[in-house]
Structures are given as C-alpha cells and as structure tokens.
Amino acid sequence: MTEKIYNLPLIGDQAPNFHAKTTFGEVNFPDDYKGKWVILFSHPADFTPVCTTEFIAFQARKKEFSKLNAELIGLSIDQIYSHIKWVEWIEEKMKVEIEFPIIADHGKIGKLYGMVHPSKSASTVRAVFVIDPEGIIRAIIYYPPEIGRNMDEILRILEAFHIADKHNVAMPANWPKNELLKDRVIIPPASDVKTAKQRPKDYECYDWWLCHKERPK
C-alpha cells in the first residue's frame, strides 16, 4: 500500500484541520481557537533536555503571549501518558507548572504539518507555526534537534503581526532595534508615480521607496 503524500502547508494557507487528544482534553484544531492567535509548536520527544528547557521558557512567557491574544499548544509523537508524566516531572523537579496543552500525536498531525523530517528520524523536529485568528498560517520556523528555540523571537514576530495588520506597515530587520530605524516602521513602497512623488512630503524617507514613521501606539 502506497503511503499517503501530504502537501505541506505554506505561509498564507489555511491551517490543516485535525482532532486530537491533549493534556487538557480533546481539541478540534483550529476551530477551537477561532478569534485567537496560536503558536503551534512541535518538539522531538518528552523527557529530553533541550525540549524541557523550551517548555519552561514558553511557560515563563505565557502571560506575554496572552497579552497578544495568543495561545500556546505543543505537540510530539508521544503518548498522552508520557506528556502527563513529563509535565508532572517539570512541576516537581523544576517548580514550573505547564499551563498550556500538549498534543499526543501518532504521526499523522506531524506529517500533515511537515513536522516530521525523515532524515532527522521519525520524531517531530522543532517546528513553529504562527496561526492568526482566522486560522491562516502567517509564519513557519524550523529548528534542528540540537538547537533550542528563541521564544523572544516568536513573541517579536507576533507583536510585529499585530502592528502590521492594524496599520498596514512593515518591520525592518532586527525590529524594534533596527540599526537605521530603531523601532520605527516602514511604509509599503508606492505603486504609482503620483504616490511616489508624494511619499517624501508625507513621511521621512531615504528615497520614495524607503519611507518610515514612528511606531504606532
């Protein structure tokens, strides 16, 4: 029997639907999270050192994610019993309570989302999917097993989306600490001659195609 071929989701795609067991009960994804941003992330396995540090780091910033209307949900190809025991271990040994659900995947969701890379074994890699309140995938980040994630970068991406969506602007490199613009934001380039001539009159510009303004409140 031929193995099913999955079309991996891309930025701008609707997040694939699935039903699964989690440490917080069953979930219908992404329907149960409509109206919320979601950080869906996979880890290679429970009871592994890098993953343990990642879960503690995510939990440490949970309030910051909540302020940005975002929910965290983890995933690995481990049984629900393993997830529960691992979470208990983290609370007992590290004094940290994990207050977000972890999906018990049997491999289907990992393949559906492109979280399983055969060259890196059958476990899920460190993938991050940033999904908006309409269930659209807005960003995808992959990390190799040997490198833990930077949670502050994920928060930065989420904060940038909030501003970009509300004000129709873009963010420079290393925002909000850009070498040229600091925390200022970029105006989308003009698409006609009239607007190009007007841009330097309306904004601070290096040229008509590189204009910027103060970060919106």
Query: Per-residue pLDDT tens for 121-141?
Result: 678 889 999 999 999 999 999
Domain ranges of the chain: 18-149, 168-213
Average pLDDT over residues 33-57: 97
- How confident is the model over 81-91, as pLDDT tens digits? 999 999 999 99
- What is the rounded average pLDDT for all residues in the chain? 94
Q: What is the pLDDT of residue 4?
A: 56
Confidence of residue 5 (pLDDT cuts 50, 70, 90): low
51 flagged as catalytic: yes
Give the homologous superfamily in CATH for domain 168-213: Antioxidant, Horf6; Chain A, domain2 (3.30.1020.10)
- The catalytic residue among 15, 38, 51, 125 is 51
- Report which of residues 172 and 3 the model is more confident about: 172
Please tell me the predicted confidence (pLDDT) of residue 3: 52
DSSP states of the chain: -PPPPP----TTSBPPPEEEEETTEEEEETGGGTTSEEEEEE-S-SS-HHHHHHHHHHHHTHHHHHHTTEEEEEEESS-HHHHHHHHHHHHHHH-----S-EEE--SHHHHHTT-B-GGG-SSB-EEEEEE-TTSBEEEEEEE-TTS---HHHHHHHHHHHHHHHHHT-B--TTTTSBTTTBT-EEEPPPSSHHHHHHHHHHSEEEETTEEEEPPP-
CATH number of the 18-149 domain: 3.40.30.10
Q: What is the model's pLDDT at position 217?
A: 82
| Region at 90 (left for phi over 0; alpha for psi -120 to 50; beta for the rest) | alpha
Q: With 0.85 as the threshold, say if the pTM is over it.
A: yes
Does residue 1 have a pLDDT over 50? no
Give the mean pLDDT of 45-70. 98
How does residue 143 score in pLDDT terms, banded at 50, 70 and 90?
very high
CA distances to 9, 13, 165 from 133, rounded to whole Å, are 17, 13, 12
Please report the pLDDT score of residue 119 as a whole number: 66
Tell me, what's the pLDDT at 197? 96
pLDDT tens-digit readout, 73-119: 999 999 999 999 999 999 999 999 999 999 999 999 999 999 987 76
Q: What is the mean pLDDT of residues 43-49?
A: 96
Mean pLDDT of 154-161: 98
